[in-house]
Amino acid sequence: MLKELIYATILNINNNLTRLESYIVRSRGSQPIKICMIYSIFFITAYLLLYIILNYALQLVLKKKINKQTLQKKSFILIALSSVTIFSIVFLIKDPELANRFQHAIAGGFLAMLISYLAFKDSQVEINKLQIILLSALVVTFLGVLNEILEFIIQINTNLVFADNLNDTWLDLTSNFFGIMLGSIFALLDNKIKK
């Protein structure tokens, strides 16, 4: 039963990703603004989900009520503008390999780190900045590895090719790492949170 449920879930994810991937490929040259908006909505949704999960997890672990009014409009605006800017730059890069590296470093690393950092910060959990940065880095690393595993599962079960060889996976993870480091520097420079 569980095996069938997992397989059905993977197929559902695969079908949705296939539709999104074919839409992106078809419209890469003609409709970059729509693609940028899709990614922007995706990253804002990721922020909201992480924020909600953090609030409920913290309520369970800390047995404290979390102030629901901590969701920040400026976080939404920052994430939306950053994602549109980043993916606009990705569309401007002519070399697909360089575009992929930039996308993984800046979107998969830096922007994901920023989103995780903002979700922790906005939830007003009582931990210091270094702890927020380390937890954010763990969340982003987990998501990067999960992304590569999902790409592998989808690639072996469909005709979609995400990586021609194993080096692409390692380069993706390395690019994510450098983006996480860049995001960590940004978080360290944020003075609006206690040290």
Divide the 195 residues of the chain into consecutive groups of 10 and give the mean pLDDT of each group: 55 50 48 68 82 75 63 80 83 83 87 86 79 87 86 82 80 89 88 57
In angstroms, rounded to a whole number, what is the distance separating the alpha carbons of residues 64 and 53? 15
The residue ranges of every structural domain in the chain are: 2-189
Q: Of 14, 50, 19, which is closest to residue 150 (Cα–Cα)?
A: 14
Determine the pLDDT at residue 56. Answer: 76
Determine the pLDDT at residue 26. Answer: 46
Tokens 């360290």 belong to 188
Helix axis angle, 32-62 to 2-27, nearest 10°: 150
Determine the pLDDT at residue 64. Answer: 60
Determine the pLDDT at residue 31. Answer: 61
Answer whether 162's CB lies under 8 Å from 154's CB: yes
Tokens 């210091």 belong to 128
This prediction has a pTM of 0.71
Q: What share of the chain is helix, strand, coil (3-state, %, to 5)?
A: 80, 0, 20
**Under 8 Å CB-to-CB from 42, ≥6 apart: which residues?**
83
Determine the pLDDT at residue 21. Answer: 47
Determine the pLDDT at residue 62. Answer: 65
Determine the pLDDT at residue 178. Answer: 92
